[in-house]
Amino acid sequence: MTLRSPTGPGAVSGPGEPGGEMGTEEKENHCSEPQRRILKTPLKQSATSYSVLTEIQPDSGPLTTPPKSQEVPPGDPWTPTANLKILISAASPEIRNREQKKGLFDRSEIVETKHCLHEHLSGDEYEKSQPSRKEKSLGLLCHKFLARYPNYPSTAENSDICLDEVAEELNVERRRIYDIVNVLESLHMVSRLAKNRYAWYGRHNLNRTLQTLKKVGEENKYTQQIEMIKKREYEFELDGDRNEEMTTKPVGPNEHSEMCFVELPGMEFRAASVNSRKDKSLRVMSQKFVMLFLVSTPQIVSLEVAAKILIGEDHVEDLDKSKFKTKIRRLYDIANVLSSLELIKKVHVTEERGRKPAFKWTGPEVLPGIQDTKPVTTTTSLIPSNSAKSKYPKEQCSKNLFPSRGKQSFTRHPSLMKLVKTIESDRRKIHSAPSSPSKTSTNNDQNSSSLPSKMAQLAAICKQQLEGQSRELKVKLTRSTLECKLTSSDESLLKCEPNTTSSCQTPSLVQPLGVLPLIHNSVSPVMLPQTHSAISYAIYLHPSQAQTVTTLPSVPCPNVTGTKSVFNANSQIPFNQMTTEERDSNTGEGDAGNLVAKERQVTKIEFTPERCLKRSQALQENSSIKKCRRDEKSLEDVYTGDSLKGERPSSRAVHLEPEINHFQEGSQNKSEKLDQNMEFCFDHERREGLSEDKSRASNTQEMPVAFAVPAHETLFPSGYIIPLAQCTQHGNEAIFSNKEKSGICSLPHMTYGSPIAGVVPVTASEFTAVNIPAFHVTPLKLMVSPSSIAAAPVVNSSCLNSSHSNPVQNPSSSILNFTLQHLGLIPAGVQVSPNPVLQPVPISPKPEHVSPVSENVSLQQGRVFKNESQITECDLNGKSGAVIPLQQTTVPVKPEEPQAVTENFFRTPGGPNAISSFASSSADSDGADGILRGNLFAPQRKLDVSEDQL
DNA sequence: CCCTCCCGCCAGGCG
DNA sequence: CGCCTGGCGGGAGGG
């Protein structure tokens, strides 16, 4: 409870004691409360990383293990968090000492020691030992916090979060915990149960939330606002440079200035009673901030712009500098948390004036259309199921929706009300007849959704085709994604049944399956929905994907600029919207019209390693950053927390190209990536073409299904209710989410498999020009080691296990080989063996689950991994499937760094051994997986750390 | 000096 | 009234 003490304690501990960071663990021990334990358990698993950070591996009885914690052997599998720790430790020797010391002592000892130390050491030493601010940073704290809970908690586990406990364990003031929780709440990763008490949902709802936020953001016209702001700035500069500052807040407040908290149905109710503060600006700000990323094409948002927009909405009028400053401060707080979640990365956008701090979205891509549908549906049905939330009255939903300034806030938009009612009715049905009814409802929803989604997809496709090659490519992707989604949905459904927590889910499963086939038919390549075997999916997908991919690559371009231009042209997105970086790149193109402001903006986006967290980036940098950029991104994506259940995959699949961008960014840290432009271009295309089209189509469809927010307009102002099925389906949810997003194969399995598929569509020639090679790397892997392919299966199995226990149905090796060969991925002579062992590749599977840290890790050495992972995901996702054939040939890696790819490939973090580790890890439950994962990637992380430090 | 952002005062609101 | 929340901004660490 000494809130402040944290520092003190930390300091104390720092010197040589277990203290500070360890606190959490210690507390765990101390904490008698069941809740904690519950949480802890899960946490620990996931938390391993933490343990790394703090002390050790508290995991299971872990306290004893302290010694381990101290230093992570490079090879050791650490959790992503662990990587953070490493980074941190690397950054500050002091920390290391602490950790080591911590490790040395048993928890009890540690605790004692802490106290003693405090006394003995006295402030100076302790303080000195303590890390400085960095160690106390919100980002680090958030990592620790996140480490305590599984990304995808099973419904069974209750994950209650006691703020006091957490604060104690983490040795921080409760106030700080609020900052974290508020942001998490904005993402619906957490919800308030009562005073001092929050429920942990993890990332189950993340995709839905993001989709919803994206919708809202679109409705709000944030894109336009951003453009406006940029234009103004630009104009000002031209004129006289004044800082436009806030005075003119571009944001058109009219549109939707109001602060509304976007809620997912079910999530917030509880809070209603609990939530005292209506306007929790931090929450709303967080959501809006996220919306900006989701809406903006480059997905890069500068703090300045974000602050202006946020202010503008609230009160355009007051634009005091102080207010602006305050906003910025808050945004930093939010950004730190989001960074910890690996949803964003810190970047620098260089403009004429100079560098501006900005953040890039590194989270899963949110597909508007398709996603919406499914998600919504799912959500609806699911909602009831969730135990915690099951009962939310409509009223509750409505309340939170409008936290607006006054208490009155809770008025809902009529459209929303409808939605709410619908949802409630659904819930009732479900509840009333848990099994059957729910199923029906679910089925209905799903069916409807699925069908519409298909329709939407088709429509989208048509549009795309018309638009142009780029579009075509996109379309293909979409298709693939759709297919994937379908399949994934099927799988998910299947999976869901077992879980049954939510009756709804089960039913849904059934129907979807039926639907899926159709889709598949339409899309040639996509595999059937074999629900279970991820591997199989992956493989099948590849062929189709490969095609798709192939086309895509061509689109983008050989030249970055050209590519961009292409995308831009295709994409409807105005240049203005594009980040400065993009603009720059784009500028060359002919979009001039749109370009208004961009001209000056220049830009590079530099990634600054965000503190410890950014390790991954750093890693990338070290090696051939540029080369790997994309790979990195992919890796990151994969590894990022989202990854666990396949969310990532889905997202990635959708955004294959975007992934690339991410990679680049990562690489940028060291060397700024000029190439990023390319990336952006890709992203744009994807977004615009795929996502938009899809979203549009899907939206229509979707609307009906869930009550997804009805009309954009209307809904927007008021609050949005998004029916999320909360975690009921632990694993399932994740799946759904994945599906939602990209339609991808939400299944983690898919992800794993994907690597093989080398999604990278780009042709060698094209890639060459760009840096894309990384993507291609994946193919290489395939090429290189047939075994890798085998690995994929393995992975899948593992994944399945981990994620859902579904037995993986691996296609026979012969089939795989055939497929691969057929695709051209693998040389005819080569055959992939199912054995994972040989293959280096495999990393991907777990990584997903693994938190961000893993990503980083992968990046370093592993760019390769990322590549793989990315590819994998992509493939799975959908689009991806494109298995590009791979291999080296495909790899157009730039001459510069071509080797890197290969190296990376082999490097795979675990190396050959890694595979084995995977297998073992796969067996583990999610939590365990996380750890394993972490271990696999650990080495990389370390690297990352160094980079960060760099 | 500037960017970040930690720290904690202090107030609103609930129990 | 006390406690929980969390808005808010001073001011300091780090580069």
CB < 7 Å to strand B — which of 319-358 in chain A? 325, 328-329, 332-333, 335-336, 346, 348, 357
Residue with token string 């102080």: A322
Judge whether residue A740 contacts strand B, using its CB and a 7 Å cut-off: no
Q: How far is the CA of A275 from the C1' of B14 (A)?
A: 9
* Å between CA of A172 and C1' of B8: 12
d(CA A932, CA A509): 30
Which of A748, A626, A608 is CA-nearest to residue A677? A626
Q: Which nt is closest to the CA of A329, judged by C1'?
A: B5
pLDDT at A263: 66
A170 touches strand B (CB under 7 A): no
pLDDT along chain A (950 residues), means of 10: 32 30 32 30 29 29 26 30 39 36 34 42 48 79 84 74 84 86 86 83 83 80 73 60 40 44 56 52 84 81 81 56 85 88 82 76 72 31 28 32 30 36 38 29 29 34 34 35 33 30 28 26 24 24 26 28 29 34 34 34 43 35 34 34 30 29 34 32 31 32 28 28 32 32 29 26 26 26 29 30 32 40 43 34 31 32 28 26 28 29 27 30 31 28 30
Instruction: Enumerate the nucleotides of strand C whose atoms come under 7 Å of any protein CB.
Output: 4-11, 13-14
Provide the pLDDT for residue A198: 85
Looking at residue A367, its pLDDT comes to 74
pLDDT at A158: 67
A911 CA to C12 C1' distance (Å): 45
Q: Separation of CA A31 and C1' C4 in angstroms?
A: 21
Distance A321 CA to B1 C1' (A): 18
- A164 nearest nucleotide via C1' and CA: C4
- The single residue listed with the structure tokens 């693994």 is A850
Which nucleotide, over all strands, has the C1' atom closest to the CA of A320? C9
Residue A161 pLDDT: 83
Does the predicted model carry a pTM greater than 0.85? Answer: no
Is A357 buried (19+), middle (13-18) or exposed (0-12) by CB count in 10 A?
Answer: middle
List, in sequence order, every residue forming a beta bridge with A200; answer none if it has no partner. Answer: A190
Going by C-alpha positions, the residue among A83, A75, A76, A20 that lies closest to residue A47 is: A83
Residue nearest C12 (alpha carbon to C1'): A133
Cβ atoms within 10 Å, residue A805 = 12
CA atoms within a 13 Å half-sphere pointing along the CA-CB vector of A306: 33
Q: Which nucleotide is nearest to A346 (CA to C1')?
A: B4
b/e code A162-175 from CB counts within 10 Å (16+ = b): bbbbbbbbbbbbbe
- CA(A233)–C1'(B6) in Å? 31
Nucleotide B3: nearest residue by CA–C1'?
A357
Q: Which of A408, A403, A181, A412 is nearest to A278 (CA)?
A: A403
Nucleotide nearest to A3 (CA to C1'): B8
Token pair 């990023």 is found at: A676
The DSSP element (H or E) to which A197 belongs, if any, is strand A197-200
Q: Which residues of A385-419 are buried (b: 16+ CB within 10 A; e: fewer)?
A: bbbbbbbbebebbbbbbbbbeeeebbbbbebbbeb
For position A288, what pLDDT does the model report?
83
Q: Which nucleotide lies at the shortest CA–C1' distance from A325? A: C9
pLDDT at A217: 80
Residue carrying the six token digits 């890796």:
A635
- Report the pLDDT value the prediction gives residue A129, as an integer from 0 to 100: 54
Rounded Cα distance between A784 and A770, Å, is 22
- The gap from C-alpha A406 to its chain's centroid, in whole angstroms, comes to 33
> Sheet of A605-607: strands edge to edge?
A300-302, A355-361, A344-350, A605-607
Q: What is the model's pLDDT at position A20?
A: 31
Q: Nearest-CA neighbor of A633 among A609, A659, A656, A614?
A: A659
Does nucleic acid strand B have an atom less than 7 angstroms from the CB of A7? yes
Nucleotide with C1' nearest the A314 CA = C7
Residues in contact with strand C, defined as Cβ under 7 Å from any of its atoms: A 132-134, 163-164, 174-175, 178, 181-182, 192, 194-197, 274-277, 279-283, 322-323, 325-326, 329-330
Nucleotide nearest to A196 (CA to C1'): C4
Residue A913: CB atoms within 10 A of its CB come to 14
Residue with nearest Cα to nucleotide B7 C1': A4
